[in-house]
Structure 1
Amino acid sequence: GVVRTYAELVNQWTTGSDGVAGGTVALYNAFIQFAGFTFGKAQSVFAAPWNTYPGNLGSLLGGDDSSTAQNQISYTAQFGNGISGTLSLEDQSGYRTASLYNVTTATGTQWLSQTQTSAYGGTSIPDIVGRVRIDQAWGLFQVAAAAHQVRASYYNPASEISGHPDDKYGFAVQAALSLKNLPTGPGDSLN
C-alpha cells in the first residue's frame, strides 16, 4: 500500500527585536499514514475539519489558534460511499491548558500572584476518541466522542504519604455539519 508522510514546521525570527536565540521553532504536525493507520502528531480525531482554517479559533480552549494537533495512534476504516469510522488513542497532555491547582498549601500571596504549581499527576491512560463521518458531494457530517482521565498529584507535593485524590473520568461529544454547493455562489459552504 501507499505510505504517506507529512510534517509542518514553523520558524519565527524578527531581526533586531529578539536577543540571541530569540527565534521560535515549532512542530505543528508530523505523522506517517499506512493502511488506515496514522502514527504521530496530527489533528485530533475529535476536531471538526475546519478548526484550523485561518481566522478560526482552535478546538482546544486556551490552545493555539492555528493547530491543535495531538500525538496519536489512530485507525480509520473506510466503509464505502464516503462513510468512515475512526478509533484513536491520543496523548491527553495537550489538553491541560487550564491549571489544576493544589490549594492545600497555598498562601494568600500565592493566590494573588498565581504562583502555585500545576497539580496534574501525569498521564496513565490516553484519551480514547471515536468518530463516524460521512463525506459526500453535498458536504460532510460527523459525530465524535472522547473519553478523558484527570489525575491529580499528591495532596502535599512534598510528601507522597499524604495520598492523592481519586482519578476522575469525563467525556465529550461533538457533531459537525458542512453544506457545500450552496446557491449563494460558487465555492460557498456553510460549516
Structure 2
Amino acid sequence: MTNLRRLNLGNNRLTGEISADLGDLTNLQYLDFSDNQFTGEIPADLGDLTNLRRLVLSDNQFTGERLTQIGKLYRLEVLDLSNNRLTEDIPEGFWNLTNLRRLNLGNNRLTGEISADLEDLTNLQYLDFSNNQFNGEIPEDLRDLYDLRELNLSNNQFTGEIPADLEGLARLGQLDLSNNRLDGNIPEDLSAWFLWNG
C-alpha cells in the first residue's frame, strides 16, 4: 500500500495506538483518523509523511508531548489535532508550516506562550487555540496574518491588553477572546472595527 495517497478511517470506533509503520506510507497526502478512540502518543514516524497536505487526528484520546515531528510536514495545509489530551508547549517547528490554511489545536491541555513566529503562517485563514492552558500576552504579530477569517483564543489564561493591531485583519469575520484574563480598554481602532463588522 505504499502508493496510498488518501487514507480516511474517521468516524469509527477504532482503538489502540497508531503503529509506527504508518511512516512507511510516504506518498500519503490526506490522512484522517478523526472521531475514534485512539490512544497513546502521536508516533514520531508521522514526520516521515512529508507529502501530507491534510492531517486530521481530532476527537481521539492522544496524549503526550511528542508533537515536534509534525513540524517536518512542511506541505501541510490543514492540521487538526483538536479534542485530544495533548500536553506541552507548541514546538518551534510548527511555525515552519507556512502552507497552513487551517490550524486547530483546540480542546487539549497545551501550555506556554504563543511564539511571535506565528507571524510566519501568513496563509492561515482559520486559527483555533481555544480551551487550552496558554498564557502570556496575545502576540501582536497576529496582525501579519492578513488572510485570517476566524480566530478563537477563548478559554485560556491569556493576560494583558487586547492588541490594537487586530483591527488590521480586514478579512476577519469571527473573533473569540472570551474567558481569559485580559484587562484594559478595548482599543479605539478595534472598537470601530467591531461596529463596522457587527
* TM-score, normalization by structure 1: 0.21
Using CA pairs under 8 Å that are at least 6 residues apart, name the structure with larger relative contact order, 1 or 2.
Answer: 1
- In proportion to residue count, which structure has more strand? 1
* TM-score, normalization by structure 2: 0.20
